[in-house]
Amino acid sequence: MGRRKLGPGICVHCLEEVEERNSDHVFPESWYPDSTPPNLEKWQVPSCIPCNSDYGRMERDLLIKLGLCLDPYDPASASIADKALRSLRPSAGHNRHDAEHRRRKGQSILKQALVGDQIPDHGIFPGLGDRWPDISGERSAILVPKKHFERITEKIVRGIIYVEDGRLVQQPYKIEFFVFADDATNPWMAAFDRCGKVYAREPGIVVRRVVAEDDGLTSLFEVKFWRQFKTYASVTADGDADTLSADG
């Protein structure tokens, strides 16, 4: 099925006025697990063709790397983990060219992976750490660019604000990305628990958002992927996210 054409207007991502746009999924369509209800409405926003294509390439690469780190037995992520493995399996290729592409992709990821003592005791994304520490054998770790976490989080934040509020995130507002370990003493968590609004497309994604009443745009976001890891973001005019988290 081709993407729905929307005609001229502003791209939600780059904020440029363009002559041609299409519909882009806020949470990538291929990221919805097979356990997603078939009648679930999936968020979509207007995007320019270059942004849509650029995000698509990044999302495909990120899905493979994240899929290799997810729990293959959890219903929220089992099909995603399987999809990641299939995408690297030459025997699953549609033709000789596709099979070779899968083989090379797998070799590239393995070449970049850290093994055994190469794995540091820091820099591990919360929620994506060692799942089976008691199993014997050499441990391995997949390298995922921080920029990819930032970009997918920003895309989701921009998308939800557009879908829910009909607004664009543009100057003087900006989006900042954060990572936190689970910590009940974090003031952001208290704000989410006290007055956060939930946007859910389970089991793929659940978002909590706290919005400042004075402008309706300054916000804190918590994005939970496949029930296994979270990213955070703020939308502020001055870059100071502490004011909102303290005031709720």
> pLDDT by residue (tens digit) across 37-56?
999 999 999 999 999 999 99
Give the model's pLDDT for residue 46.
97
Confidence check: pLDDT of 241 > 70: no
Give the model's pLDDT for residue 159.
98
Res. 6 pLDDT band, cuts 50 70 90: confident
Does 172 fall in a domain?
A: yes
User: Are the C-beta atoms of 181 and 238 separated by less than 8 Å?
Assistant: no
Say which residue, 153 or 133, is predicted with more confidence: 153
Give the model's pLDDT for residue 182.
79
Query: Domain total for the chain?
Result: 1
What is the value of pTM for the model shown?
0.91
Residue 145: CB atoms within 10 A of its CB come to 12
Does 91 fall in a domain?
A: no
Rg (CA), the chain: 19
Does 192 fall in a domain?
A: yes
Confidence check: pLDDT of 16 > 70: yes
Element (H, E) at 148: helix 146-165
Q: Tokens standing for 149?
A: 């976490």
Res. 22 pLDDT band, cuts 50 70 90: very high
Does 182 fall in a domain?
A: yes
Does 27 fall in a domain?
A: no
Res. 10 pLDDT band, cuts 50 70 90: very high
Boundaries of domain holding 225: 156-247
Does 240 fall in a domain?
A: yes
Task: Provide the residue count of the chain.
Answer: 248
Say which residue, 131 or 75, is predicted with more confidence: 75
Does 121 fall in a domain?
A: no
Strand 229-236 to strand 174-178: parallel, antiparallel, or no bridges (unpaired)? antiparallel
Give the model's pLDDT for residue 15.
97
Give the model's pLDDT for residue 227.
95
Does 187 fall in a domain?
A: yes
Give the model's pLDDT for residue 134.
61
Quote the mean pLDDT of the chain. Answer: 91
Give the residue from 226, 245, 115 showing the smallest Cα distance to 180: 245
Confidence check: pLDDT of 245 > 50: no
Res. 1 pLDDT band, cuts 50 70 90: very low
Give the model's pLDDT for residue 40.
95
Q: Average of pLDDT values for 167-184?
A: 92
Q: Where would I find the beta strands (DSSP E) of the chain?
A: 9-10, 17-18, 21-25, 44-48, 114-115, 140-141, 174-178, 197-201, 205-211, 219-225, 229-236
